[in-house]
Structures are given as structure tokens and as C-alpha cells.
Amino acid sequence: MLHVYIACFLACLFAVPAMAQQSEDLNFASGLEQFQNIRRMLPSYLDNIGLRMLEERKHRVEHLATIEDVNRRRTYLREQMLEDLGGFPDRTPLNARVVGVLERTGYRIEKIIFDSQPHFYVTANLYLPTTGRPPYPAILFPLGHERGGKTNPIWQQMLASLATKGFVALTWDPIGQGERLQIYDEDLRESKVGDSTTEHTVVGTQCMLVGDHLARYTIWDGMRALDYLLTRKEVDPARIGLTGNSGGGTHTAYIAALDDRIQVAAPSCYITSWRLMLDTIGPQDAEQTFPFWLQEGLDYPDYLYAFAPKPYLLLSAIRDFFPIAGARETFAEAQKVYSAIGAKEKLGMVEADDGHGYNKTRRLAAYDWFGRWLKGTGDTDPEPRIEMATPEELRCTPTGQVSTSLGGESVFTLNQKRLEKLKANYPTPPEDLLRKVREAIRYEPASGPLQVKSYGAISRSGYHIEKLIYESEPGVLIPSLLYVPDAGGSKKAAVLMVTGEGKAASAVEAEQLATSGTIVLSIDARGIGETKVNTDANSREFDRYFGDFSDIMTALLVGKTMVGMRALDISRGLDLLVSRKEVDPNRVYGYGEDAGALPLLYASVLDGRIRRVVLNGMLVSYESVVNSRVHRRILEGVAPGMLKSYDLQDLVAALAPRDVWIVGGTDPLGHELPASEVKKEYRRALEVFSTQRASQAIHIKDRSPDQDATTFYREFTAAVR
């Protein structure tokens, strides 16, 4: 009915569509020097908010001077982390079992499986010294994103070296790696989505919808690994250290901040500062980014304060992608605090002139640090030669995958169970829904008069196009095109159009509406069209699944959401429309297509001036994301905890008795669903429309290429009945 068959219909009318001939006229950046950097507008806007929050944090922590101050900071960080994580699961029996042993000179490797949650299986390797006298000090070793999970040769080198030096060392496969792929493809023999960071973020999006964080699972695995370590008679529970690299450095920081049983910590290639992260690589995958972190006034040094005054060593690489300047910044801030509380010698930093990884210089520094604080004497001995085991020798399951050998739970199935409990509270009472929607998407209504600037007009047959830019909020400019029919003096119906490809790409649809006598405001909401960030060639695979990941996650860090910001852009566009003398304010409608549909739905719920709405190619439900192992380009429409209160059909129901068209609803991969399936998903909404005697106002339709577009436009823009 819309994008696909409109193009076909117009192609029959015009051999070369007029708008297509002059599409370059519809962009601002192509002709106006002041808009050449408009693609940097959104990241600059978000980064500036983040930097302002970091400056505010700096003033709050600069007076930390006593152990009482540090203890209060620890309490605050733990409270915020636990809230962001969604809390932890219950502590249930580990059901640990040794499934194999490898004998080596001076140590042995036990292959272990334990349940961090009931039937949520963790595959692990325990390195045990066979010389010296137990109980030994022990090292918990969370892994990074390197391929191979626990079988990676660098990890084997370090774990076996620790064992020969008299430490028990335990490592385990993280979610999405090694034997614990969550989206395993038996044909590919790897994750369906490729890299572990991609899998983490696919699964992390599902976690976010039910109000959790992926790190809820990964941190808990680490804490339960520590529970298991402390069951071993070979381990001295008073001498526990923790170290890992990259993602393992992340979890070293997390677990050390949350678990008092850790006595010494040494994260490698992770600690930096958010000021430098915003200026360089931006947020990383789902397990490494907490929503609202900067808004809550937290930064990397807070992990250290949560551990103080115990020994903490920062292991950094000068040529790491985690900026070394940020690591130095964090160390300098924390050093003042450690000195103030009388623990200066317990904070250290080692820099190596190399790249990312737990390279030899950092490994040697870690051996020395753990020897000093867990054995009472430093260790400057050379690293021993290690006999490497094959992946097959180290694996704990017959097939090399928990999913095909043991089955049990996955994050996917656990999320589904979490959702079933949440659904018991549906539907949210109407009087509470708007408040919960605003809270979920962090919607902030506009304040102050709308600022609009004109940049000329383009004449067309029967109408003209005004090129306008309005300021949605300070620092955010929205390029827009206003199509105004020339004929008639009466006030006209108006349509605000927001599409996933932007105003220039939707010119055909806008022209068709304008030639039918309707005013059209077609906008590039932030991050769309001309304001879309250019994709870096190195991140295209990640962007294929998540879109503008960096800005989406930075928005969450500073307490905003992409869908909430775009809903504001739409509401400000309505301000523009209703201010025009040609517009009938009682006939203002909304047309949202693809990535523009969800923000339009939210704007329509929150702004009653939109009297009718078309949602074309919109995701059918958030629940479908939780029930689908793989999804694409969903993250920009997601905010933490949405499914605690509502799904998309509840938002549609809130529009009753206004007219709503849901056309070509899609599954989480973007495939269109038959209208019959969409109607099943929207049962609650259909019931609400029926209760309000408005059954004829909700239209759920397929996108039919052979349908005449003019029929739809007459129906959509007809005078109010």
C-alpha cells in the first residue's frame, strides 16, 4: 500500500519522476557550507552531555579523602550496578562435576562443569599445582573476547604458568564463547551471528527489554565460579586474586567491585576513562556498557574505589584501542585517593609499549603483583615453557558445545521465562501507561518556542517545497521539507512524514500526498537521512545488526534513548505544522515508515495532536524480539525494561479511537508478516478499539504492490467523519 507499490504506481504515471530528477535539491549539506558536518551533530550532542556529566562527577569525587568517603562511594556504585543489572539470580546448588583430567609436569588440569543457575551450564578448566603444600593462593581468571574461549594459547600460557608458580587458577567459557555459544549454528559450527561481541549484543538487547543486563549473567557466572573455587580444599579462601584481559579485564573490574572475597585485582587492557572513550572508540559491546552510567555520575575510577584499600594493579598497553591517556587519567585520580587513605603502595600501574592483549610484559607484572600480595614475596622469575593442550583435550562436553551436548537453559530461554512473569502484569492501566512510556524512553517534552529557519523554496507543478530547519532542542537541528499545495485558500490536512531512509528518499510518497492537496512535512529525525552518522568500514558487520550502535549506547549512558529523542523531533515537527496558517490543526496526521514508524508511534501516544497515524513496516512486537534468537536493527527502538510495562500493541491500543493503519508489520529480522499474523499479535489492541466502539478505526493490512496508492491517500487524508 505504501513504499513498494507507491513507487510502482508513480513509475507508471511519470517516465522519469520529477522528484527523482532533482533529488540533490532536497538535501541541505550538498549546497550549504554550514551543514557540511551535520552527520556529526548527533554524536557531538551526546558526547557533550556525557562530558558535562563527567565534569559534574569530577567535582563530586575530588573531596574523597577518608576511608569513610571511599566506603560510601563503594556502596553507591554497588547499588547502581545492581539496579542496572536487574539484580542477581538466587544462589542455587552448583552441581559441579569433574569430567576429565590432564596431567602435566608440576600441575594438572581438571575439566569441570557446574550450574551457575539451574541447568545453566558453565564449562571450566581448573589448573592445580602438584608441587608445594596446599592450601594454595588462587586466581580467578575471566576471559576476554579472543577466539577459542578457555583453550586460547595465551590463556593456557598464563594459567599453566600460575599453576607452576604455586597458584590454583580457574577459568571458564563466557557466554557466547568457547563451548557456550548462545546462538550456535550446527551447520556453520559457530555462532549464527559471527563474533562474540555481536552475539553478546544480540542477546543483550533481549535482556534489556525485560529489564536486565547481559552482565547480570556474565558476572554471576564469575561469582559462582568463585563459589566453586572456594569449595576446593586445595584453595586458601583468604588469598584470592582476580585478573583477565579485555572482556576479562572488564569482568575483573566488575567482580572485584561487587565481591568482597577478592583480595587482589589486576585488570588488563580495560581500565581507561569515559572522557577518552567518548573522544575515541565510544561504547563497546553489551556486556561492557551500562545504561545511565554517566548520568549516575560514575566512571572507571569508581571500580577502583569499590575495591579500595585492597591491592589493585592497572595493566595497560600504550598502543591499545582502549586509550592509554584514559588509563593514566584514572590512575592519577585514584592514586590521590589511595594515598589519602594510607594505601598508596597498594595501587600500581604497568604500561607496556605494545597492543591489546595479555602480552608477556603484563603477564610478568601480574605474576609479580600476585606473588607480592598473596604469597608475601615478589616474583621476577621468567615465564616457564608450557605444553599446550588441544581444544579437544580441554573441552568439557562431547560435542564441544553445551547446547548440543547438555541442552539446558540459555540466556534466550531464561529471558523468555522472565518475560512470562512480567506478562502477568499486563495490560498496564491506562492512567499509568503514559507515565511508564515516558519513563521507559526517557522522553523529555520540549520547552521554549520553536526556532525555524528557511533555506529557500523549490517550485513544482501544483505545489512548492520549502526547505526548513528547526531546532528540536539546543544542539539538534532537524532538516525538513514542507510540501505546500498551491491551490485553494482553505486550511488543509497535513501529514508529518518520518521514514527510515530520510526525507530525500521518501520524496515520491511526499509528492503523491502533496498532489492530492495535502500539506506534508518530511523530516530527517536525528540519526536519519542527512543526519545519519557515516558508517566506518571496519564496523559495517556490527552496524548490520545494530545500526548506529555508538550513538544508541552513548544516549543510554547519558540517560536518553534514540526512540525517545526521535519522538521529540516529531513532536517539534508538529509544533512547526500547527503554527502554519495553511494547516488545519484538527487534521494533522502522521506517516512513519520502517525505522521512522516506532518513533512515530511513541510520538502519537504522547502527543494527541496526531489524529491519524500510518505505521508502515514497523516491528510487530518487542516480545517477538525476545522470542527470536536473531534480530537486526532493533536496538534503536529499545530501552531498558520496556516489557515490564507494555508491548507495542498496548501503545497502539492507547491511540483508540483515533484511526491507525498498521501496514506490512515485520518480524525482528525485518521480514514482513501476513496481516493475519499481525492481527493475532494485536489481539489486546483490537479488543480495546472494539470496547471503544472504534473497530473500524484500526486497519491492519498487507503491503500490496498492485494496490492503487491514490485509494489509500484518499482514505487516509479524507475529512474527519
Q: What is the DSSP string of 478-513?
A: EEEEEEEESS-SS-EEEEEEEETT-TTTTHHHHHHH
CA angle 608-46-273, nearest 5°?
145
Nearest alpha-carbon partner for 654 in 426, 419, 428, 439: 428
Q: What is the DSSP string of 341-398?
A: TT-GGGEEEEEESS-SS--HHHHHHHHHHHIIIIISS---PPPPP--PPPHHHH-SSS
What pLDDT digit, counting tens, does each position of 343-365 carry?
A: 999 999 999 999 999 999 999 99
Specify whether the CB–CB gap between 404 and 185 falls below 8 A.
no
Nearest alpha-carbon partner for 322 in 218, 246, 242: 246
Half-sphere exposure of 115 (CA within 13 A, CB side): 15
pLDDT at 137: 98
Read off the amino acid at residue 689.
F
User: What residue spans in the chain does CATH classification 3.40.50.1820 cover?
Assistant: 3-36+428-717, 59-420
Read off the amino acid at residue 429.
P
Q: List the beta bridge partners of residue 172.
A: 124
CA R_g for the chain:
28
Q: CA–CA separation, 555 vs 565, rounded Å?
A: 9
**DSSP β-ladder status, 168-172 and 136-141:** parallel
Q: Is 33 helix (H, G, I), strand (E, B) or coil?
A: helix
Number of Cβ within 10 Å of residue 349's Cβ equals: 18
Specify whether the CB–CB gap between 618 and 662 falls below 8 A.
yes
pTM (two decimals): 0.93
Q: CA–CA separation, 481 vs 32, rounded Å?
A: 15
Read off the amino acid at residue 510.
A
CA angle 595-284-396, nearest 5°?
110
CA 184 to each of CA 191, 195, 404, 407, 413: distance values in angstroms, whole numbers, following the listed order: 4, 12, 9, 12, 14
pLDDT at 14: 26
Give the helix/strand (H/E) hosting 711.
helix 709-717
What does residue 484 show for φ and ψ, rounded to 5 degrees?
Answer: -120, 115
Half-sphere exposure of 130 (CA within 13 A, CB side): 11
CATH 3.40.190.10 assigned to 3-36+428-717: no
CA 485 to each of CA 462, 493, 521, 578, 647: distance values in angstroms, whole numbers, following the listed order: 6, 11, 12, 16, 38
pLDDT at 16: 31
pLDDT at 31: 63
CATH annotation of 59-420:
3.40.50.1820
CA angle 259-262-265, nearest 5°?
115
Q: CA–CA separation, 494 vs 537, rounded Å?
A: 39
Specify whether the CB–CB gap between 290 and 258 falls below 8 A.
no
- Give the strands of the sheet with 235-245, arranged side by side: 97-104, 107-117, 120-129, 168-172, 136-141, 235-245, 264-268, 312-317, 347-352
pLDDT at 540: 62
pLDDT at 134: 96
Low-confidence ranges of the chain (pLDDT < 70): 1-24, 30-33, 535-540, 706-714, 719-721
Residue 720 CA from chain centroid, whole number: 41
Q: Kindly state the DSSP code that residue 696 receives in the 8-state scheme.
A: G
CA angle 96-100-101, nearest 5°?
115
Residue 105 CA from chain centroid, whole number: 45
Specify whether the CB–CB gap between 688 and 653 falls below 8 A.
yes
| All cell numbers assigned to 440 | 521507559
**DSSP β-ladder status, 107-117 and 120-129:** antiparallel
What does residue 213 show for φ and ψ, rounded to 5 degrees?
Answer: -130, 145
Specify whether the CB–CB gap between 265 and 310 falls below 8 A.
yes
